[in-house]
Amino acid sequence: MAGRLDGRVAIVTGAGGGIGREHALLLAREGAAVVVNDINTRTGADAAAVVEEIRRAGGQAVASTDSATWDGAAAIVATAVEAFGGLDILINNATAGGNNDLWRFTEAEFDLTVDVNLKGYFAMIREAVPHLARRGGGVIVNTSSGSGFGHPSHSVYAAAKEGLVGLTRTAAMELGRFAIRCNAIRPMAVTQQVREYRENTQKWTRLMDLTMGPRTSQTDDDALAPRMISPFVVWLCTDAASSVNGRTFFVSGNRVWLYSEPRPKTMITTDGAWTLDELDEVAPRELIAGLTNRFRLDDHPDLQVFEG
């Protein structure tokens, strides 16, 4: 099982199935000792079974069923330190969230989604950093989502996952001096959760196609298998990616995109403070020329009916 990550210790949250399982298996094949973390209450998740797979193949792994929460994060990191003596790699992969019209989400649904996809990731990073620094550096990979670019029915999930990109950039800046790298991926793979998502989003299908383009359901499931995501994620954890920090990648099938970082595009200035009259005159010509409201679906009035 010796490989590119021989002697290193990794934690993968949400690793009892799906994409996280594939991360854990490949990390182990490359020589890392792996903490397979999952709460085992989601469909198909079984951390112990993944650990057994790794051990049968000659690798090292232990299971953790603690939740990746503010309190649970310490227990997950402690499992790695107690079992393997330290920590070198953290892959934040756990996720949760549902679909609904923006005005129908409950506070409980909001809190669950943000707690898992943003607060929990922060908690894991917070607990991991001292151990990574003591080892002379390490790697953090956060699982964001293309939903952050805008995703009808996924308003809360999109907010949490795009907040995670801001966290990734900031952590990279703050932790880089300790030789700790932090990057994010936006994966697209067909998992059990995606299949359930397809069933639950039929009412939004037309709106999604109009605002987002063709969806995952219109692609080849085999080409989007979870195992297709893991090679790039594991590569980010190797020394070959030592120059990569604070970046975001879209990973889908056999394709990997590096996203550009936001930069100012156009600026207008005036003496003193702007007045509304000045903005009426200058902004349309010098600041917002060519911009349109892409979401005025005037040609599709059926989509504009509000159902309270």
Q: Helix (H, G, I), strand (E, B), or coil: what is residue 90?
A: strand
Integer-rounded Cα radius of gyration of the chain = 21
Active site residue 157: yes
Catalytic residue selected from 121, 157, 197, 259: 157
| Backbone dihedral angles phi then psi of residue 62, each to the nearest 5 degrees | -135, 155
Give Cα separations from 147 to 154, 186, 215 (angstroms). Answer: 7, 9, 11
Conformational region of residue 253, where left means phi above 0, alpha means psi within -120 to 50, and beta covers everything else: left
* Best CA proximity match to 50, nearest among 11, 16, 76: 16
Give Cα separations from 110 to 73, 96, 149, 154, 193 (angstroms). Answer: 21, 10, 18, 11, 18
CB distance 59 to 65 below 8 Å: no
What positions carry a catalytic annotation?
A: 157
